[in-house]
Amino acid sequence: MSKKHRNTSLTKQDREVARTVVSERAITVSEQASPARIGTVLSTLAIPSAAFPLTVVEAAGVSAVRRCVTLIANAIAGQRWTEWDGEPAQRLATVSRIVKRPAAVMTRREWVWRVIASMSLTDISYIYMVGGVDDEGIPGSLLPLPKEAIHPAGFVDPWGIFPPTQYSIAGISGTVSGEAVIPMRSAFWPGVPPHLQGILQMARNSLMSAWASDAYSSRYWQAGGTPVTQISTEQELDNTQADFLANRWRDRRSMGPDYPAVLGKGAEAKPWGADVSQALAIEARRDIAAEVANLFGVASHYVNVNPPGSSMTYTNVQDEALSLDRFTLSGFYDPIQDLISDLLPEDRFMLIDMTRLTRAAQESRFRAWAIATGNKPWMTPDEVRIEEGLPPNETIDKLVEAQGTGAETAAEGLGNETVTDDEPVAEEVPA
């Protein structure tokens, strides 16, 4: 079986095994995997409920979530892709079409951004192969589909081990073969079906806390104070009078903070609930933001929260970027590298070059390049210029060649010289 179809197709025996495994717990589209069950219709709800996860629109409105997603996506989307061949690997000067532009309808940056954003929120991004294949067997175009636009059709493995045989895609009548869709995952949770994976589903309590915190803060500043109020009086009130005072307070507050509420019968309005301007409320909001950053694997200072006792004084930018790349970003761009490499011909693979993010400062780099091209060189100036994003320079090549030729000429001339230490001694004439 060729490499480009190794992960995208199942044999007949595999399908029989999959049907046998899920026969007792098969989930049909109409009963379990419909869009209504996985939350795609929740965008019509005005206020999210704890029983349902946040939608992508609502989650993106939370400042900490938006910061984490944009940080990860922007850090990866702007990097260059390189193609390699053979063992030992040699970098190809001309990359394949799918490496240069995975989808014909969008730029590579947009393609990466969509894939990373989908995987960061839902742990999965579906890639729909369209446009046939070329002479090398490479698909014509790879369309990234969000989780809300596609769902399995027919039988679905509740453990997520065997991929579905068919999919239903929004905007396409009928079903699509499972061999044309590649589920690209950033995390693999055993025992959790695909439609329940992702932080929107699995961490909905933490995200609901962040959403509620932002919503409450917005209501606080729009109302000019604590939005929850208690009206008390020492006089005895019946239900009609109590409702009148409550409605009058609500009507005046709905007009804005510039309109005072005048209450009779000795009624006094007192704030009830959290005051977002107090230190405890501010600290609680910071803890919520730090928890959201922890869900994405991002350091809390990226969401403007510095843990107590921590200091960035002795941390340089390169070490911070290396830590971000090793422990966070690699979990998102490694699946992309695996996907593109599997679709390329044998012995060819794609790597995303992250050196622009992790490389040292200019002075440190130039010092390292001087050592690499110095007395015992292991790099050429052209290779250094490529790493710095500069084209080859013929003048520098001629200068290096002249220096080498001059050194060889000097060495040959030194070897041809004859050095004699014996000097003639004048004889002494006797007196």
Structural domains in the chain (count): 3
- 292-335 pLDDT per residue, tens: 999 999 998 889 888 765 555 545 666 788 889 999 999 999 99
- 251-280 pLDDT per residue, tens: 777 776 666 677 666 777 766 666 777 777
| Separation CA 156–CA 168 (nearest Å) | 13
- 160-203 pLDDT per residue, tens: 788 888 999 988 888 999 899 999 999 988 888 777 888 888 88
Angle, vertex CA 319, rays to CA 318 and CA 323, nearest 5: 115
Could you tell me which residues come within 8 angstroms of residue 245 by beta carbon, excluding any fewer than 6 positions away?
231, 237, 263, 265, 267
**Residue 5 included in any domain:** yes
- 239 and 216 assigned to the same domain: no
Q: What is the dihedral of CA 398, 399, 400, 405, to 10 degrees?
A: 80
DSSP E strands, 191-283: 229-232, 268-271
Q: What is the pLDDT of residue 62?
A: 92
% of the chain surpassing 70 pLDDT:
71
Out of 328, 359, 390, a domain closes at 359
For residue 253, CA distances in Å to 166, 222, 227, 231, 257 come to 54, 10, 9, 13, 6
Mean of per-residue pLDDT scores for the chain: 77
- 318 and 364 assigned to the same domain: no
**Residue 52 included in any domain:** yes
- Rounded to an integer, the average pLDDT of 346-354 is 92
| Separation CA 237–CA 308 (nearest Å) | 50
**Residue 337 included in any domain:** yes
Query: How many C-beta atoms surround the C-beta of residue 299 within 10 A?
Result: 21
- 343 and 398 assigned to the same domain: no
**Residue 195 included in any domain:** yes
- 125-157 pLDDT per residue, tens: 999 999 888 888 899 999 999 888 998 887 778
- 200 and 169 assigned to the same domain: yes
Out of 315, 339, 359, a domain closes at 359
The answer to whether the CB of 126 falls within 8 A of the CB of 182 is: yes
**Residue 43 included in any domain:** yes
- 233 and 155 assigned to the same domain: no
User: DSSP secondary-structure letter at 172?
Assistant: S
Q: What is the pLDDT of residue 22?
A: 35
**Residue 420 included in any domain:** no
Q: What is the dihedral of CA 5, 10, 13, 19, to 10 degrees?
A: 170
What is the pTM for the complete model shown? 0.70
- 217 and 354 assigned to the same domain: yes
The band of 88, judged by pLDDT with boundaries at 50, 70 and 90, is: confident
Out of 297, 327, 359, a domain closes at 359
- 257 and 283 assigned to the same domain: no
Residue 126 β-bridge partners: 145, 183
**Residue 300 included in any domain:** yes
Q: Burial of 154 by CB count in 10 Å (0-12 exposed, 13-18 middle, 19+ buried)?
A: middle
- 74 and 167 assigned to the same domain: yes
- 11 and 111 assigned to the same domain: yes
- 126 and 158 assigned to the same domain: yes
- 7-54 pLDDT per residue, tens: 444 444 444 433 443 333 333 333 333 433 333 333 333 345 555 678
Q: Is the dihedral of CA 166, 169, 173, 176 positive or negative?
A: negative
| Separation CA 93–CA 370 (nearest Å) | 25
Q: What is the pLDDT of residue 346?
A: 87
Give 55 or 309, the one with higher predicted confidence.
55
Domain range enclosing 405: 360-413
For residue 126, CA distances in Å to 110, 115, 155, 345 come to 15, 8, 18, 22
- 206 and 330 assigned to the same domain: yes
Q: What is the pLDDT of residue 161?
A: 80
Q: What is the pLDDT of residue 336?
A: 96
Give 124 or 357, the one with higher predicted confidence.
124
**Residue 429 included in any domain:** no
DSSP string for residues in 111-166: HHHHHHHHHHHHSEEEEEEEEEE-TTS-EEEEEEE-GGGEEEES---TTS-SPPSE
- 210-234 pLDDT per residue, tens: 888 888 888 777 766 666 677 777 7
- 192 and 314 assigned to the same domain: yes
Which stretch, 212-216, 383-387, 395-399, 403-407, has highest mean pLDDT?
212-216
% of the chain surpassing 90 pLDDT:
27
350 pLDDT exceeds 90? Answer: yes
